[in-house]
Amino acid sequence: DTAVSQTPKYLVTQMGNDKSIKCEQNLGHDTMYWYKQDSKKFLKIMFSYNNKELIINETVPNRFSPKSPDKAHLNLHINSLELGDSAVYFCASSQTQGGGYGYTFGSGTRLTVV
Amino acid sequence: DAKTTQPPSMDCAEGRAANLPCNHSTISGNEYVYWYRQIHSQGPQYIIHGLKNNETNEMASLIITEDRKSSTLILPHATLRDTAVYYCIARSKTSYDKVIFGPGTSLSVIP
C-alpha cells in the first residue's frame, strides 16, 4: 500500500552506462516530480509532469529524459552516466488543484556511478 | 515561491519541546507554510502546513506570526526518533512550483 514507490532503491553502475529509475504513485495525484539531492542535502527539482504533460524542466543535462506513460507513473532515464550524476534521486507527487498535504515523496534511489 | 531561511542546526533534550524557527519575509498572500522532515536518507515526510492561523496535528504545532513573515514548528515532547533535518517551505496550493528543499535545520534530540 506504498503511496509513492520508486525502484530500484540502490543503483551502482559504471560511467557511460544508460540506466532508468521507475516511479509509481497510487494517490490519484495529478502531478509528479523528480528531485535530486546533492551532497549538501538540498533537494532540487529536475522535472515535473502534470497529467502526463511536462510542465517544469529545470536546467539539467539532456542526458536525463523523463517519461510519463500515464499520470500515475513517471520514469527517469539517464544516458551516458557520469561520476557527477551520483546522488539520491527522489520521486514525489502532489495534487495541484486543491493542494492538500503538498508533496508525498518516495524513499529515494541512491545512484552511484563508478 | 517565497524563499525561507532556517538555522542550520539545533539541539533539544529528549522529552522537551523543540521549537524550530523559519523566516519567510517575502511570502505572498496565497502561499502556505509547509514543514517537512527527512530522517536519515529517507524521503521527506510531510508534517504540517498553515496559511495564517496556528495549526496543530498529532505530530506538531505550527505558529505563524500575524504578519506571516515567520513561523515556528513545535514538537511538544521530542523523542530520539525526531532527530532529522526539518525543511520549511512556502508554496501556493495551486502553483506549478519549482520548490527547493534545503538546507533546513538539522535537529539532534539528545538523551
DSSP chain A: --SEEEE-SEEEE-TT--EEEEEEE-S--SEEEEEEE-TT--EEEEEEEETTEEEEE-S--TTEEEEEEETTEEEEEE-S--GGG-EEEEEEEE-STT--S--EE---EEEEE-
Residues of chain A in contact with residue B94, where contact means CB-CB under 8 angstroms, are 96-99
pLDDT at B5: 94
Residue B106 has pLDDT above 70, yes or no: yes
Task: Answer yes or no: is pLDDT of A85 > 70.
Answer: yes
Predicted local distance difference test score (pLDDT) of residue A100: 60
Alpha carbon of A6: minimum distance to chain B alpha carbons (Å): 11
Indicate if the alpha-carbon torsion angle B50, B100, A105, B12 is positive or negative.
negative
**Mean pLDDT estimate for chain A:** 90
Position A112 scores a pLDDT of 96
Per-residue confidence (pLDDT) for residue B30, from 0 to 100: 86
- Taking CA–CA distances from A53, the nearest residue in chain B reads B96
- CA dist B52 and B67 (Å) reads 9
Mean pLDDT of B72-84: 97
Cell reading at A14: 559504471
Stretch B71-100: mean pLDDT: 88
Compute and round to an integer the Cα radius of gyration of chain B.
13
Percent of chain B with pLDDT over 90: 76
* For residues A98-104, average pLDDT: 70
Q: So what's the pLDDT on residue A97?
A: 60
pLDDT at B25 over 90: yes
Written as nine digits, the cell of B81 is 526518533
Q: B34: which chain A residues are within 8 Å (Cβ-Cβ)? A: 102
Nearest-Cα distance to chain A for B3, in Å, is 13
- Label residue B73 by pLDDT band (50, 70, 90): very high
Contact between chains at A102 and B103 (C-beta distance less than 8 A): no
* The pLDDT of residue A99 is above 60: no
Q: β-strand B105-110 against B9-13: which pairing, if any? A: parallel
pLDDT of the residue at A40: 73
